[in-house]
Amino acid sequence: MKLTVLGGGGVRSPFLAKSIVSNADMVGINEIVFMDNDKEKLFIYGKIAMNLAKRINPDIKFSITSDAKEALTDADFVITTLRVGGDEGRVSDERIALNNGLLGQETTGAGGFAMALRSVPALIDYCHLIREVAKPEALVFNFTNPSGIVTQALRSQGFDNVYGICDAPSEFIKQLREILDVEPEDFDITCFGLNHLSWFKDAKVKGKDVMGEILNHPKLYTDTEMRLFQPELTRMSGDLLLNEYLYFYYYREQAIDSINKSGKTRGETILEINNQMTKALKEINIDEDFEEAFKIFMTHYLIRENSYFSIESGQLRPKQLNVPSVQEVIETPDEGGYAGVALNFVRAYSTGERTLMVLSIPNEGAIEGLADDDVVEISCVIDKKKVTPIAVGEIKDMQMNLIKTIKYYERKTIEAILNKDRDMAIKALTVHPLINSYSLATELVDGYLEQYKDYVGEWN
């Protein structure tokens, strides 16, 4: 079977390749194609990915291409991880928001809106091509941000083979397992909400309730993403655990203040690191001196990863990572990430091996008060050809009010993009709690439409 990655020239491509190749045999994948229309980055990061893949499993056919039709023809599975507009787009997203005194984080609020302007039309085009040339029952796993909006948009256009995936929930769940020192198969917890706007409840170890133990664990606020929050907020939230991205809603002024004090946005930092890395890698023959190329790559990549969320929160990650060799990376057990989520889904979906995981899928009654076709981020049961969200029933007002508001914003944003409707876009941002102003929404929409007119064209 064939798996295609759209956005295979991204900086995270080598890790994506490792995860896919390491687990390919369990789902019968024997051909992998990384596609990207940025040829320079594809022939740097895609090539690093290809060299790493060949060392892990030389029997798998692994190729890179800038031809989307070639990449998608006869594909059984597709992972989308695009950054339309590149790192420069992210910088503009954040700066236009900050110039208006607002948070510009790439998936949340104004920044997420701006990224959706570029991402949604591109993904719709790719999904039409997938429908045309891929296998009839091809599955699409969307990791392109803002994942919730993009997945909702694709589902609204009839692409019901699309599932939204995100590694934030699985990474947080892994952190919880580690502080409890329990095996993955023994731990269970329910996630509900929207992408980058979710909560966790009902933690169990071998069927025994351990929420109290987690809430009172001395490492909860030091060794997990709960480090971003105060225990008082947790109690106020009904003793639910919080997705790290809720930091931007509950501490927005601190996030903005921290960004302004740093002098650089996250996007500007990433752009600078990536430019330095790309420049260094262009001066080396990756195929002939792969060890050195990989060392350059990992050195720069870990500067990015170790500073994750630090600009916005003023805190470093609890675990700082050291630069590994190629062999160390190969020998390190694969932790999955979003590729692991996708492949676990494929295994369960194809074989009937019952599996629990967090996905972005239509609600179908799982959360009371939302429409059946509202795409939600929720714990699901996957078995033979079937995906079922785990019903969580009625949600308390504190969470439900925010979920409904953001879902309304997502719906209106999609409507605006599909119809090129400026007024609808302003309406969407006006109701968003991180903007909550008609005048600011107007400034943002006009600023982004001008900045990205080459992507979005003329609007009504």
- With a pLDDT cut of 70, the percent of the chain lying above it is 97
Could you state, in order of their start, the residue ranges of all structural domains in the chain?
2-164
413 contact partners, CB below 8 Å, separation of at least 6 = 113, 116, 149, 425, 428
Whole-structure pTM value: 0.94
Phi, psi of 458 (to 5 degrees): -85, 135
Model confidence at 336, in pLDDT bands (50, 70, 90)? low
SS3 category, 382: strand
- Residue 23 has a pLDDT of 87
Model confidence at 335, in pLDDT bands (50, 70, 90)? low
Phi, psi of 266 (to 5 degrees): -60, -40
- Residue 317 has a pLDDT of 58
Taking only the tens place, the pLDDT of each residue in 198-256 is 999 999 999 999 999 999 999 999 999 999 999 999 999 999 999 999 999 999 999 99
Question: Using CA atoms, how far apart are residues 82 and 153, in angstroms rounded to an integer?
Answer: 15
Taking only the tens place, the pLDDT of each residue in 415-443 is 999 999 999 999 999 999 999 999 999 99
Helix (H) or strand (E) run with residue 347 in it: helix 337-351
Side-chain half-sphere CA neighbours of 329 within 13 A = 24
Task: Give the highest mean pLDDT range of 45-59, 295-309, 330-344.
Answer: 45-59
Question: Using CA atoms, how far apart are residues 238 and 19, in angstroms rounded to an integer?
Answer: 36
Averaged confidence pLDDT in the chain: 93
Q: Name the nearest CA neighbour of 201 among 393, 408, 403.
A: 393
Contacts by 186-193, CB closer than 8 A, 24 or more apart: 188/356, 189/241, 189/379, 190/379, 190/390, 190/392, 191/358, 191/377, 191/378, 191/379, 192/366, 192/367, 192/376, 192/377, 192/378, 192/379, 192/392, 192/395, 193/243, 193/376, 193/377, 193/378, 193/399, 193/403
Query: What residues does 187 pair with on adjacent strands?
Result: 205
The two tokens of residue 193 are 């909400």
Taking only the tens place, the pLDDT of each residue in 113-162 is 999 999 999 999 999 999 999 999 999 999 999 999 999 999 999 999 99
Query: Is residue 345 predicted with pLDDT exceeding 90?
Result: no
Question: Using CA atoms, how far apart are residues 269 and 106, in angstroms rounded to an integer?
Answer: 13
The two tokens of residue 271 are 């752009």
Model confidence at 353, in pLDDT bands (50, 70, 90)? confident
Q: Name the nearest CA neighbour of 372 among 196, 165, 156.
A: 156
The two tokens of residue 158 are 């009839």
263 contact partners, CB below 8 Å, separation of at least 6 = none
- With a pLDDT cut of 90, the percent of the chain lying above it is 81
CATH 3.40.50.720 assigned to 2-164? yes
